[in-house]
């Protein structure tokens, strides 16, 4: 019998993408299991959702940097993910840049959801960047994570129109609806690929 794809999810925020993944799993539409959720924010929504879904959730102290993790902390996270037997790491609103040695532990086995049509608007609050640039269309992208920030190979994109009366909040909310479809769909594709390679 084939086993569900074993996921580790990293996030810093409210965790709506994690919830979308869990809803697909619980509804038997995604053949995966979340083995562990790790957050750099102790009181984050994603950790509280992990408790709701009875998935192991761990807070990892972020250390002294604001946008990245200290190498020792990355080593701790890599160890936790490996101990949880994770096959694919999903960055779902993880607001720190991932470097070695975490990348080295999961080469081409780490994906990220970004709220723009990459390569347009990498970085923070991409929906605000798209709005400020006067774009008519934006969206979200799922890509492999590598050493270049928001620039790994693209696995999927979904477009979202920008309306004339959009505020940053209304636009981000619409992008998130699209994220909640795209991310589980990309994970489902990877699950097929992994299991196909095993048979
Ligand atoms: C999502 O919109 C995701 O695309 C974004 O953070 C939000 C997390 O929402 N990620 C980035 O901007 C990464 N550069 P969530 O906590 O509700 O899933």
- Write out pLDDT tens, residues 32-42: 999 999 999 99
Ligand 1 centroid – CA 2 distance (Å): 31
- pLDDT at residue 1 in the model: 64
Helix boundaries (H) for 90-145? 102-105, 126-132
- pLDDT at residue 66 in the model: 87
Could you identify the atom of ligand 1 that is nearest to the CA of residue 113? 4
Interior/surface letters 135-166, b for 16+ CB within 10 angstroms, e for the rest: beebbbbbbebeeeebebeebbbbebebeeeb
Ligand 1 centroid – CA 92 distance (Å): 6
Is 143 marked active-site?
no
Could you identify the atom of ligand 1 that is nearest to the CA of residue 17? 18
- pLDDT at residue 196 in the model: 83
Task: Report the distance separating Cα 128 and Cα 133, nearest Å.
Answer: 8
Please, which residues have CB within 8 angstroms of residue 19's CB and are 6 or more apart in sequence?
Answer: 49, 180
Q: Residue range 153-175: average pLDDT?
A: 98
Residue 199, Cβ neighbours under 10 Å: how many?
Answer: 5
If residue 140 lies in a helix (H) or strand (E), which one and from where to where? strand 137-144
What six digits make up the tokens of 63? 């250390």
pLDDT digits (tens, 9 = 90+) for 89-106: 999 999 999 998 899 999
Query: Strand order of the sheet with strand 110-114?
Result: 57-59, 32-39, 5-11, 88-91, 110-114, 137-144, 154-161
Please, which residues have CB within 8 angstroms of residue 51's CB and are 6 or more apart in sequence?
Answer: 57
Q: Work out the end-to-end distance of the chain between its first and last CA atoms, rounded to an integer number of angstroms.
A: 11
- pLDDT at residue 197 in the model: 80
Atom 5 of ligand 1, nearest CA residue? 93
Ligand 1 centroid – CA 14 distance (Å): 9
Q: Residue range 43-63: average pLDDT?
A: 96
Q: Residue range 27-36: average pLDDT?
A: 97
Q: Residue range 187-196: average pLDDT?
A: 93
């Amino acid at each position: 019998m084939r086993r569900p794809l074993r996921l580790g999810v990293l996030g810093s925020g409210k965790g709506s993408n994690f919830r979308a993944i869990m809803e697909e799993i619980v509804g038997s539409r995604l053949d995966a299991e979340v083995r562990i959720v790790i957050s750099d924010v102790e009181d984050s929504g994603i950790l509280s959702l992990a408790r709701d879904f009875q998935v192991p959730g761990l807070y990892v102290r972020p250390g002294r940097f604001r946008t990245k993790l200290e190498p020792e902390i990355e080593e701790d996270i890599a160890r936790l993910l490996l101990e949880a037997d994770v096959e694919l790491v999903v960055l779902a609103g993880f607001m720190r840049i991932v470097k070695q040695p975490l990348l080295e532990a999961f080469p081409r086995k780490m994906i990220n959801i970004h709220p723009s049509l990459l390569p347009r608007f990498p970085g923070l609050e991409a929906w605000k960047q798209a709005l400020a640039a006067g774009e008519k269309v934006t969206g979200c992208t799922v890509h492999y994570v590598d050493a270049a920030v928001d620039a790994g190979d693209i696995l999927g994109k979904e477009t979202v129109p920008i309306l004339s009366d959009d505020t940053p909040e209304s636009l981000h909310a619409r992008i998130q609806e699209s994220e909640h479809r795209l991310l589980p769909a990309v994970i489902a594709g990877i699950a097929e690929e992994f299991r196909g390679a095993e048979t």
